[in-house]
C-alpha cells in the first residue's frame, strides 16, 4: 500500500540487532508510523596513502567491538579536490563511533569522517526528505500495539511536494505551580479552552474543570492530550520548566508521563546547556527555545519573557496579575476566577504566538532538512551546519570533522578580527538625511567573490582574487564556484524571486504567508553563513574567509562614501552596510548616485535606498568624539527611530525612559528649548510629589535569595523588607522597587512598589532624569546644573 502524509518526526530503534528508522506521519486518515529496516549505518575512511592498502587493512581488522558488515571504495570531494575513500558499513549505529576509533588507529588510515551524524538525520539527508512537508511511503501494514495509529513496514520512501507543509493542528498548554505542586493546567486550541484546577470549589468560569488531587490533575491532563491527539504541542519554556515539573510530579505519584503516540514516556534530550522534551509521534515545540536562539536576533525587546515577546509580536499583554498576587490568591482561595483566567491567558498567548512562529520553524525545517523538534532548538551555527551537511550529501562532498576542544580553544585564542566600518558622526542635529544600505551585504560579498574554504589558497588556479588583511594576503580561486557560494547562490536567487512574486500576491492569502515564511527562512539562513565562517566550533570554519568578507565590506562602504563625497553629499554616518547622506540635492540626485555605486558593484551586490529622514540626532561620548551606534531619526510622518541610547532599558524607571523619548522628540523637532522645558517640568512634578510611584519603579532580578547577598544593594534591601512582611522572595524573582523619602542610604529606603507611600524626589532627579536628559542635551551645550535649574556658577549639588 502507498501512504502520503506530512513528516512530523524521525528516530530509530534497534530490534533484534537491526536498526529500524521510524518516520512519524500525519495523514488525512490519522497518524501513521512508517518503519524502515533497510538503511545501513556507515562512515568514511580517508587513506594515508593508498586506498587498496587501506581496504586490505580494514579487511584484516578484527574489531574488539562492533561489526563491519561491508566496505566500498568510492570517490568524494574533499575541500574542492577529488578524494578516494573507503565507505565502512556497520551493523547498528552505536557501532560507528566504536569502529571509527579502531580504524583510525591503523597506519593506512589518515582519518575517519562522518562518524558523528545521528542516524535519523543521516537517513533524512540521504533521502533528501524535508520535514514537515509531505512524503510518500510504500509498504505492507504491520501490527504494532505500541503505536496509536497505523503502522507500515516501508520498502520505499520519497519526498512529494516540498511546498505542501503540515497544516496547523496545535494544542498549547501551561502549568501553574504553588509550593512545588501543580495547581492548574491550562489548554488552548482552536475552539478549545480548558483549565484543570486542583481545587474543587469556588470556580465559576465555564472552561474550568475541577479535579480532586494533583494526581487526578495529571491523569486528566494526559487523557486530554491523548484524546485531542494534536500533531503539535506548544508552550513557553516548556523544555526547561513545565516538562521538568511534570516529570517530577508524575514520579512522585508513580505515574508514567506518556502523552505521545507511542507507549514510551517523555524523554529529555540533553543538548549542551539545553534539554528538549521529546514527545514521540508528535512535535513538541518550546516557543521560548526558538525565540531565544533564532528570533531574538531581530527583535527589539531586551527580555524574552512571554509577556514581552507577546507584546512585540502580537501587540498583546498577559493579564496584569503578578506572581505575588497569584500566590496570595491561591493561598487564601480568593479571586479564583481571576487565577483561572490568568492560567488560560498564558496558554492562549502561547497558542497565538505559535500561529506566527510555528510556520517559521516549518519553513526552516523544509530548508535545512531538520525535523521541527531540532529546528526549534538549534542555534544559527547548527542550522547552517546541518543545511551544509545535507547539501554535502547531495553533492558527494565529504563533511569535515568537528574541531576538537583543543582546536576550538586555539581558534578562540586567535582573538577578534576587524568587523564592519563605522563612520564617526559629527555630534548634533543633521537635516535631510537619506539612508542607503547594501542588500544582504555579507552573503552577496561571499557569493560574488567566491569566498569559501574550498576556494582559499588553491594550488592550481588561473583566476585568483587576492584580499589583503593586515599583513596577510588570502587568495580565492575564481575558476569554479565554491561550496558556500554555490549554496548562497541558490538561497539568494530563490529569495529574490520570491520577493518579486510576493508583490503580486494578496497579503491576506495563505499563498502569501507561505511565500513570506519561505523567503524569511532563506534570509535567516543566508545571513548566518558569514557568522558561521568565523564560528570556532564550525566544521567549515574559515577565519580567512570571514576576515576577507568584512575586509571587502569595508572597501565597498569606503568606495560608496568616496562616490557620495565626489557628488557633493556630506556623510553624516555609516555602519557596516549603510551610509547616511546629507545634501540639498540628495532627493533629486539619488538615482544618479545609486547608478554610480551600483555600476561599480559585481553582480548580486546592490546598494538600495532605505529611507529618508527629516532630521537626525547624533551625540558624543565622554571623550568628546562622535558616538557610534547611538542616534535618533525623525521620519517625515513623525515616527521616531531611536538606536543605542543605553538608558532605554528596563533597569531605568519608566519616567526616565519617557522623559528621554520626549527630549529626543523635541530636539528632533528643532525645539531644544521645549526639550529643556520637559526636563524642568518633570523635575517640578517630582519635587511637588505629583508623580505616580508606578512610573518610578525600577526592576531588577534577584540572582540568589535575599539573605545570601553579602553586599547591600537597593533591590536586595527591598526584598529583605518585603520578606519581613511575609513575602516569599527567592532566587530568580524580579523585584520591583521605589526609592522612598527619608533618611539613610538609598538601599535603606528601597521598598517594593506596593509599599512605597512616597518617593525620594532628589534621587529620581539626580540619578534618573538628569542623566538621561543630559545625554541628549549636552550636545546643545547644557550642563547638568543648568538642566537642574541651577546657575552654572553654583557648581554645588544641593541635593547631595
Partner DNA sequence: CTTGACCGGGG
Partner DNA sequence: GTGTACGGTCAAG
Q: CA–CA separation, 699 vs 276, rounded Å? A: 30
- Nearest approach, Cβ of residue 120 and DNA (Å): 6
Q: Which is nearer to DNA, 371 or 607 (CB)?
A: 371
Residues 452/456/462/466 CA torsion (nearest 10 deg)? 100
CB of 36 or CB of 96, closer to DNA:
96
Give 99 or 739: the residue with its C-beta nearer to DNA. 99
Does 483 contact DNA by CB under 7 A? no
* Stretch of 64-72, 376-384, 605-613, 786-794 contacting DNA, by CB under 7 A: 376-384
Out of 537, 723, 754, 762, name the contact with DNA by CB under 7 A: 537
How does strand 626-634 pair with strand 464-469? unpaired
Dist CA 613 CA 396 (whole Å): 51
Site for DNA (CB under 7 A): which residue of 119, 147, 530, 759? 119
Opening angle at CA 779, ends 777 and 781, nearest 5? 80
Which residue among 30, 70, 118, 409 contacts DNA (CB under 7 A)? Answer: 118
Which is closer to DNA, CB of 123 or CB of 593?
A: 123
Q: What is the 3-state secondary structure (H, E, C) of 604-631?
A: CCCEEEEEEEEEEEEEECCCCCEEEEEE
Question: Considering beta carbons, is residue 700 or 740 the nearer one to DNA?
Answer: 700
Which DSSP symbol is given to 194? E
- Residue 365 backbone dihedrals phi, psi, to 5 degrees: -65, -45
Q: How far is the CB of 703 from DNA (least distance, A)?
A: 2
Spatial separation of the C-alpha atoms in residues 500 and 513, rounded to whole Å: 14
Out of 381, 485, 574, 693, point to the residue binding DNA (CB under 7 A): 381
Binding piece for DNA, criterion CB under 7 A, among 127-135, 249-257, 374-382, 473-481: 374-382
Binding of DNA by 104 (CB under 7 A): no
93 binds DNA (CB under 7 A): yes
Spatial CB neighbours of 197, under 8 Å, sequence gap ≥ 6: 183, 184, 203, 208, 209, 210, 211, 217, 336, 340
**Could you give phi then psi for residue 94, rounded to 5 degrees?**
-65, -15
Instruction: Pick between residue 80 and residue 210 the one whose CB is nearest to DNA.
Output: 210
How many residues at the interface with DNA, by CB under 7 A? 58
Find how far residue 677's CA is from the centre of its chain.
42
Q: Which positions from 316 to 345 touch DNA by CB under 7 A, shown as an x/- string?
A: -------x--x-------------------
- 534 touching DNA, by CB under 7 A: no
Dig out the grid coordinates for 227 from the structure. 484524546
Other CB atoms within a 10 A radius of the CB of residue 2 amount to: 10
Beta-carbon contacts of residue 159 (< 8 Å; ≥ 6 apart): 127, 128, 129, 130, 133, 134, 135
Question: Helix, strand, or coil here: 232?
Answer: strand
Measured from the CB atom, is 241 or 620 closer to DNA?
Answer: 241
For the CB of residue 685, give the shortest distance to DNA in the complex, in Å: 29
The grid coordinates listed for 357 are 512562529
530 lies in the site for DNA, by CB under 7 A:
no
Interface stretch with DNA, choices 114-122, 142-150, 562-570, 681-689 (CB under 7 A): 114-122
**Dist CA 68 CA 88 (whole Å):** 7
Choices 93-101, 187-195, 558-566, 775-783; region in contact with DNA by CB under 7 A: 93-101
Out of 5, 6, 8, 12, the only residue in the binding site for DNA (CB under 7 A) is: 12
Sheet holding 232-235, edge to edge: 208-210, 192-197, 181-189, 170-178, 232-235, 283-286
Q: Supply φ then ψ for residue 111, to 5 degrees.
A: -165, 160
Q: Binding to DNA by residue 122, rule CB under 7 A?
A: yes
Question: d(Cα 230, Cα 172) in Å, to the nearest integer?
Answer: 10
89 vs 784 by CB, closer to DNA = 89
What span, in angstroms and rounded, lies between the C-alpha atoms of 548 and 465? Answer: 11
299 contacts DNA (rule: CB under 7 A): no
CB of 397 to DNA, least distance (A): 16
The cell numbers describing 68, all together, are 563491519
In the chain, what's the furthest Cα-to-Cα distance? 93
C-beta closer to DNA: residue 12 or 782:
12
Q: Strand (E) positions, 211-319? A: 232-235, 267-271, 274-278, 283-286
Positions in 708-747 near DNA (CB under 7 A)? 711, 730-734
CB of 490 to DNA, least distance (A): 24
Minimum CB separation of residue 22 from DNA in Å reads 12
Q: Which of 9, 78, 114, 437 binds DNA (CB under 7 A)?
A: 114
As measured in angstroms, the least distance from the Cβ of 612 to DNA is: 31
- 619 lies in the site for DNA, by CB under 7 A: no
Residue 635: how many CB atoms within 10 A of its CB?
Answer: 14
Binding-site string for DNA from residue 393 to residue 412, where x marks contact by CB under 7 A and - marks none: ---------x----------
DSSP 582-607: E-TTHHHHHHHHHHHHHHHSPTT--E
Residue 303 sits in the site that holds DNA (CB under 7 A): yes
Considering only CA atoms, which of 134, 136, 196, 193 is closest in space to residue 167?
A: 134
Query: Which residue from 22, 26, 78, 176 is in contact with DNA, where contact means CB under 7 A?
Result: 176
215-254 positions binding DNA, by CB under 7 A = 236-237, 240-241
The secondary element (H helix, E strand) that includes residue 569 is none
Residue 309: CB minimum distance to DNA, A: 8
- Residue for grid cell 516501508: 154
**Binding window for DNA (CB under 7 A); candidates: 89-97, 472-480, 664-672, 685-693:** 89-97
Cell numbers for 80, please give them. 574542492
Is 520 among the residues that bind DNA (CB under 7 A)? no
Burial class (CB in 10 A: 0-12, 13-18, 19+), 752: buried
**Residue placing its CB nearer to DNA in the complex, 125 or 593:** 125
346 sits near DNA (criterion: CB under 7 A): yes
Among 145, 254, 272, 744, binds DNA (CB under 7 A): 272
For DNA, what does the binding mask look like between residues 669 and 708, x meaning CB under 7 A? --------------------------------x-xx----
Min dist CB 23 to DNA, Å, is 15
By the rule CB under 7 A, 414 interacts with DNA: no
Sign of CA dihedral 108, 114, 129, 513: negative
- Which residues here bind DNA, judged by CB under 7 A? 12, 19, 41-43, 93-94, 96-97, 114-120, 122, 174-178, 236-237, 240-241, 269-273, 288, 292, 303-307, 323, 326, 346, 378-382, 402, 535, 537, 701, 703-704, 711, 730-734
Amino acid at each position: 500500500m502507498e501512504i502520503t502524509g506530512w513528516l512530523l518526526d524521525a528516530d530509530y530503534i534497534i530490534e533484534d540487532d537491526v536498526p529500524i528508522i521510524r518516520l512519524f506521519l500525519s495523514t488525512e486518515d490519522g497518524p501513521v508510523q512508517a518503519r524502515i529496516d533497510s538503511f545501513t549505518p556507515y562512515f568514511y575512511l580517508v587513506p594515508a596513502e593508498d586506498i587498496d592498502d587501506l581496504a586490505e587493512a580494514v579487511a584484516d581488522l578484527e574489531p574488539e567491538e562492533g561489526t563491519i558488515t561491508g566496505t566500498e571504495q568510492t570517490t568524494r570531494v574533499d575541500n574542492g579536490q577529488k578524494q578516494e575513500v573507503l565507505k565502512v558499513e556497520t551493523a547498528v549505529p552505536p557501532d560507528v563511533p566504536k569502529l571509527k576509533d579502531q580504524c583510525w588507529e591503523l597506519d593506512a588510515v589518515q582519518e575517519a569522517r562522518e562518524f558523528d551524524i545521528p542516524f535519523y538525520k543521516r537517513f533524512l539527508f540521504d533521502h533528501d526528505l524535508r520535514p514537515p512537508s509531505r512524503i510518500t511511503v510504500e509498504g505492507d501494514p504491520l501490527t504494532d500495539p505500541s503505536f496509536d495509529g497505523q503502522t507500515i513496514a516501508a520498502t520505499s520512501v520519497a519526498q512529494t511536494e516540498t511546498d505542501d507543509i503540515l497544516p496547523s493542528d496545535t494544542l498549547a498548554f501551561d502549568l501553574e505551580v504553588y509550593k512545588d505542586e501543580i495547581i492548574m493546567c491550562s489548554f488552548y486550541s482552536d475552539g478549545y479552552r480548558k483549565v484543570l484546577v486542583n481545587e474543587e470549589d469556588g470556580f465559576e468560569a465555564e472552561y474550568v474543570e475541577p479535579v480532586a488531587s494533583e494526581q487526578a490533575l495529571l491523569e486528566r491532563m494526559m487523557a486530554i492530550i491523548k484524546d485531542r491527539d494534536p500533531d503539535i504541542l506548544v508552550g513557553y519554556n516548556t523544555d526547561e520548566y513545565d516538562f521538568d515539573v511534570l516529570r517530577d510530579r508524575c514520579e512522585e505519584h508513580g505515574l508514567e508521563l506518556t502523552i505521545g503516540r507511542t507507549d514510551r514516556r517523555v524523554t529529555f534530550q540533553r543538548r549542551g546547556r539545553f534539554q528538549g522534551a521529546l514527545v514521540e509521534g508528535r512535535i513538541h515545540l518550546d516557543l521560548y527555545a526558538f525565540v531565544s536562539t533564532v528570533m531574538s536576533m531581530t527583535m527589539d525587546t531586551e527580555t524574552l519573557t512571554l509577556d514581552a515577546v507577546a507584546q512585540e509580536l502580537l501587540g498583546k499583554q498577559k493579564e496584569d496579575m503578578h506572581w505575588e498576587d497569584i500566590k496570595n490568591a491561591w493561598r487564601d482561595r480568593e479571586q479564583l476566577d481571576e487565577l483561572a483566567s490568568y492560567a488560560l491567558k498564558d496558554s492562549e498567548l502561547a497558542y497565538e504566538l505559535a500561529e506566527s512562529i510555528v510556520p517559521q520553524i516549518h519553513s526552516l525545517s523544509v530548508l535545512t532538512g531538520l525535523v521541527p523538534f531540532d529546528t526549534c532548538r538549534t542555534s544559527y551555527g547548527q542550522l547552517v551546519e546541518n543545511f551544509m551537511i545535507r547539501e554535502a550529501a547531495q553533492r558527494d562532498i565529504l563533511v569535515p570533522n568537528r574541531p576538537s576542544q583543543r582546536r576550538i580553544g586555539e581558534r578562540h585564542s586567535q582573538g577578534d578580527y576587524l568587523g564592519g566600518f563605522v563612520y564617526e558622526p559629527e555630534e548634533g542635529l543633521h537635516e535631510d538625511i537619506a539612508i542607503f544600505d547594501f542588500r544582504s551585504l555579507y552573503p552577496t560579498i561571499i557569493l560574488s567573490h567566491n569566498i569559501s574554504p574550498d576556494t582559499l589558497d588553491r594550488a592550481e588556479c588561473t583566476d585568483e582574487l587576492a584580499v589583503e588583511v593586515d599583513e596577510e594576503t588570502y587568495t580565492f580561486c575564481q575558476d569554479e564556484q565554491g561550496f558556500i557560494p554555490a549554496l548562497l547562490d541558490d538561497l539568494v536567487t530563490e529569495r529574490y524571486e520570491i520577493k518579486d512574486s510576493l508583490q503580486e500576491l494578496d497579503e491576506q492569502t495563505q499563498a502569501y504567508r507561505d511565500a513570506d515564511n519561505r523567503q524569511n527562512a532563506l534570509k535567516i539562513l543566508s545571513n548566518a553563513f558569514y557568522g558561521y565562517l568565523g564560528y570556532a566550533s564550525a566544521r567549515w570554519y574559515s577565519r580567512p574567509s570571514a576576515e576577507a568578507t568584512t575586509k571587502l565590506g569595508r572597501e565597498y562602504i569606503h568606495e560608496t562614501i568616496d562616490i557620495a563625497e565626489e557628488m557633493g553629499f556630506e556623510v553624516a554616518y555609516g555602519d557596516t552596510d549603510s551610509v547616511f547622506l546629507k545634501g540639498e540635492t540628495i532627493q533629486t540626485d539619488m538615482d544618479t548616485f545609486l547608478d554610480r555605486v551600483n555600476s561599480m558593484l559585481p553582480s548580486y551586490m546592490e546598494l538600495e535606498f532605505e529611507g529618508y529622514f527629516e532630521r537626525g540626532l547624533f551625540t558624543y561620548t565622554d571623550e568628546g568624539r562622535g558616538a557610534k551606534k547611538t542616534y535618533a531619526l525623525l521620519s517625515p510622518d513623525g515616527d521616531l527611530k531611536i538606536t543605542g541610547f543605553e538608558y532605554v532599558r528596563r533597569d531605568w524607571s519608566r519616567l526616565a525612559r519617557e522623559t528621554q523619548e520626549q527630549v529626543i522628540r523635541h530636539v528632533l523637532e528643532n525645539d531644544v528649548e521645549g526639550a529643556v522645558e520637559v526636563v524642568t517640568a518633570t523635575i517640578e512634578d517630582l519635587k511637588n510629589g505629583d508623580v505616580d510611584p508606578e512610573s518610578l519603579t525600577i526592576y531588577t532580578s534577584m540572582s540568589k535569595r535575599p539573605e545570601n547577598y553579602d553586599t547591600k544593594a537597593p533591590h536586595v534591601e527591598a526584598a529583605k523588607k518585603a520578606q519581613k512582611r511575609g513575602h516569599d522572595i527567592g532566587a530568580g524573582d524580579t523585584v520591583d522597587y521605589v526609592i522612598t523619602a527619608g533618611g539613610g542610604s538609598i538601599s535603606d529606603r528601597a521598598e517594593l512598589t506596593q509599599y512605597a507611600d512616597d518617593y525620594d524626589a532628589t534621587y529620581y532627579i539626580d540619578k534618573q532624569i538628569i542623566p538621561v536628559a543630559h545625554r541628549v542635551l549636552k550636545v546643545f551645550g547644557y550642563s547638568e546644573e543648568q538642566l537642574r535649574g541651577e546657575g552654572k556658577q553654583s557648581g554645588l549639588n544641593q541635593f547631595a
